[in-house]
Structure 1
Amino acid sequence: MLRPRIIPCLLIHEGGLVKTVGFKDPKYVGDPVNAVKIFNEKESDELVVLDIDATVNGVEPDFAVIAHLAAECRMPLCYGGGVRNAAQAKQIIGLGVEKVAISAAAIERPELISEIAAEIGSQSVVVVIDVRKKMMGGHEVRTHNGKKAHKLDPVMFAQEAVRLGAGEIVVNSIDLDGTMKGYDLKLARRIRDAVRVPVTFLGGAGSLADIEALIREVGVVGASAGSLFVFKGTYRAVLINYPNPDTKEQMVRAALAA
């Protein structure tokens, strides 16, 4: 039986762990490997690691870094950044990573989803959809750290990605990234109702109450966050944190029972 998952998302920029606001102004917050070790100790459900440089710079994944992260990680690990073909995805899985995330490459050439699924299995293919609100209403899909707009509806693209073989969809709100103001619950419900694979939402979580609200309003989903798990307090002091098992279980139970 599927259960809600609470998932830290780590961004790698120029080799360091960073956090952005609105996909801009990356702030250095530490070493990615040290963060992985801490999340191991805190028994995180899963971990998402995204290299935000690779696609923009047109380079392939840093397999040495991925191997190091996978060797340290004791929870399911999803890696994304720079993956453009099935051979790269297969190599990443061979390093001990459970899931491979693709975004820009999947939008530019949707058949890549099917190619990677055929190579590593649909359960290991994650399509990340970065979304931004349009001035006249609705949302649009963006890539390259939010700089490149595509005339795609995120709900329709999520459905197409699943049809082509994606085993999971991650929806990342550019508008709410780093704001800690809560998830876009309306969009989350639309996406959740449109597909029949696991869906994870990222962007806006500022408290455990925001995660509880997402699960209560949308159901069994993945609740991912960056700032919530790397900052602490009003002044956003850097502190890697994650709810202890008892707190997490009580929160999930309360949300599902509501």
Structure 2
Amino acid sequence: MLAKRIIPCLDVKDGRVVKGVNFVNLRDAGDPVELASIYDREGADELVFLDISASVEGRATMVEVVKKTAGEITIPFTVGGGISTTDDMKRLLRAGADKIGINTAAVKNPQLVSDGARKFGSQCIVVAIDAKFNPAWGEWEVYTHGGRTASGIRAVEWAKRMETAGAGELLLTSMDADGTKDGFDLALTKAVSGFVGIPVIASGGAGNEEHFYEVFTEGRADAGLAATIFHYKELTVQGVKESLKKKGVEIR
């Protein structure tokens, strides 16, 4: 079994890290370069950097901030937001990103995932899926544009399709759980993890150490991602790891 990973997430808007609840009511959480450097020292396994308004505003991810952040850290670094071509991917990889996260662009043009995987390798391509429960379907729907637009696509099927297209990993965010601190969406995570053969990073809802244990055991996730609890020092990466170790979870 692969060791489980703990990944802090930096949601960046206008050059600052922000965090909200259910994708709204954002508040400032600090400087991305500074926070990245702290998480690197604290033993985070990886970092995810999402320019959350890039797709909505139709602009490219902030290459300069990526460059500065990459210069401060030694752990793998995924960058997403506003990426719509393989040239965008190349620019960010050159700026220091290790992996590229795409969400809206993958829905608009699934071929981009295949093109990126062919050009840079599947290990570089992380497809982000923002999913919300659709009561009419009795399952989850994919949302784009930073959670603003319903796509009409079923999330579990989409996950499989993205694996087939060449994604090396999935970043699965439950919009229903996001920022609530009530725990990860175990049903969603388990549904996707059980349907694909690539690693699934669970995101949305982490509030305590037990939530990470649940998402790794019941949800069958390969990594747990969180923002609020780490940014505001409610938990530390090290504390989460120690708690998991005590429970027999293999971590890095």
Using the size of structure 1 for normalisation, the TM-score is 0.92
Task: Give the direction of change, closer, same or farther, for the CA distance of 1:252–1:108 in structure 2 (3 Å limit).
Answer: farther
| Residue 66 in structure 1 maps to residue 59 in structure 2 | no
> Match for residue 166 of structure 1?
167
Question: Residue 247 of structure 2 is aligned with which of 242, 248, 254?
Answer: 254
Cα distance in 2, alignment partners of residues 32 and 7 from structure 1: 14
Offset, 1:145? 1.7
Q: What is the match of residue 118 of structure 1? A: 118
Query: Which position in structure 2 is the counterpart of 1:29?
Result: 29
Specify the alignment match of 2:132 in structure 1. Answer: 132
Find the residue that maps to 2:150 and give its secondary structure.
strand
Distance 2:17 2:61 in 1: 16
Distance (Å, rounded) in 1 between the aligned partners of 2:12 and 2:88: 18
Partner Cα separation in structure 2 for residue 33 and residue 57 of structure 1: 22
Matches within 5 A, 1:1-258: 2-136=2-136, 137-219=138-220, 221-232=222-233, 242-244=236-238, 248-252=241-245, 254=247, 256=249
Residue aligning to 1:237 = none
| One-letter amino acid of the counterpart of residue 95, structure 1 | A
Mapped contact 2:12–2:51 kept (Cα < 8 A): yes
Deviations 1:170-222 (A, max 9, x none): 11011111100001111111100111111101000001110011112133511
Distance change >3 Å, CA 4–CA 24, structure 1 → 2: same
- Aligned equivalents of 1:196 and 1:15: distance in 2? 35
Percent identity between matched residues is 35
Indicate if the aligned counterparts of 1:132 and 1:140 stay in contact, CA closer than 8 A: yes
- Deviation of the 1:232 alpha carbon: 4.3
User: Any idea what the Cα deviations from partners look like across 1:144-163, whole Å, max 9, x if unmatched?
Assistant: 12111011111100100010
Q: What is the number of residues matched between the two proteins?
A: 249
Give the SS at the match of 1:152: strand
Shift of 1:67: 0.7
Q: Is the 8 A contact 2:189 2:221 kept in 1?
A: no
SS at match of 2:153: coil
- Cα deviation, residue 66, structure 1: 1.0
Answer yes or no: is the 8 Å Cα contact 1:2–1:220 preserved in 2.
no
Superposition RMSD on alpha carbons, in Å? 1.6
Question: How far 1:255 moved relative to its partner?
Answer: 5.1
Equivalent position SS for 2:218: helix
Shift of 1:244: 2.0
SS in 2 for 1:204: coil
The one-letter code sitting in structure 1 at the alignment partner of 2:69 is L
Amino acid at match of 2:37: K
Q: Greater CA deviation, 135-144 or 112-121?
A: 135-144
Cα displacement (A) at 1:231? 2.2
**Alpha-carbon separation, structure 1, partners of 2:174 and 2:248:** 22
TM-score, normalised with respect to structure 2:
0.94
- The residue aligned with 1:236 is none
Q: Is the 8 A contact 1:42 1:244 kept in 2?
A: yes
CA distance in 2, matches of 1:104, 1:90: 18
Instruction: Name the CA shift for 1:220/1:132 in 2 (closer, same or farther; >3 Å).
Output: closer
Q: 1:81 and 1:132 mapped to 2: Cα distance?
A: 19
Q: Distance in 2 between matches of 1:232 and 1:63?
A: 28
- Given that 1:21 and 1:177 are in contact with CA atoms closer than 8 Å, whether structure 2 keeps it comes out as yes
How far apart are the structure 1 equivalents of 2:111 and 2:229? 35
One-letter amino acid matched to 1:197:
I
Alpha-carbon distance, 1:31 to partner? 0.8
Secondary structure of 1:200 counterpart: strand
